[in-house]
Amino acid sequence: MSEMCRVDQQIGAPSLIPGVSQKLTIGSSSVQSAAFQTVNALGRATTWIRFITTSNCWISFGTNPTATALPPNSFYFPTGLCDYHGVPPGATHLAVIQDSAAGVLHLLEGL
């Protein structure tokens, strides 16, 4: 997985300050992250998230999101990828649910 992240960085992934990391267990029920950093000691807030998963899943952003295995409220994220996503305006959390098997979502907030 780290090799995929390195390749992504070479093709234009964000070059921003890493923030808080979280590890969420992906299961058959939606699981919500802790709140993203709104303003840290440097006066910066989370603007992007890096995802790495160990199983196919569905992700949703919001102020109190619930992930579902259907668009448009959630988007599909395949296993083994390392990808960067901008945080939508007003979103303070993300939620994740499995597609067909349990796993882990590793996320890194970027400032």
Q: 31-73 pLDDT, tens per residue? A: 999 999 988 777 788 999 999 999 999 999 999 999 999 999 9
Confidence at 4, pLDDT banded by 50, 70, 90: very low
Q: pTM, whole model, 2 decimals?
A: 0.84
Whether the per-residue pLDDT at 8 is higher than 60: the answer is: no
Report pLDDT digits (tens) over 76-106.
999 989 999 999 999 999 999 999 999 999 9
CB 96 within 8 A of CB 105: yes
The vertex-53 CA angle with 9 and 4, nearest 5°, equals: 25
- Give the contacts of 78 (CB within 8 A, at least 6 positions apart): 53, 56
Main-chain dihedrals φ then ψ at residue 52, nearest 5 degrees: -140, 130
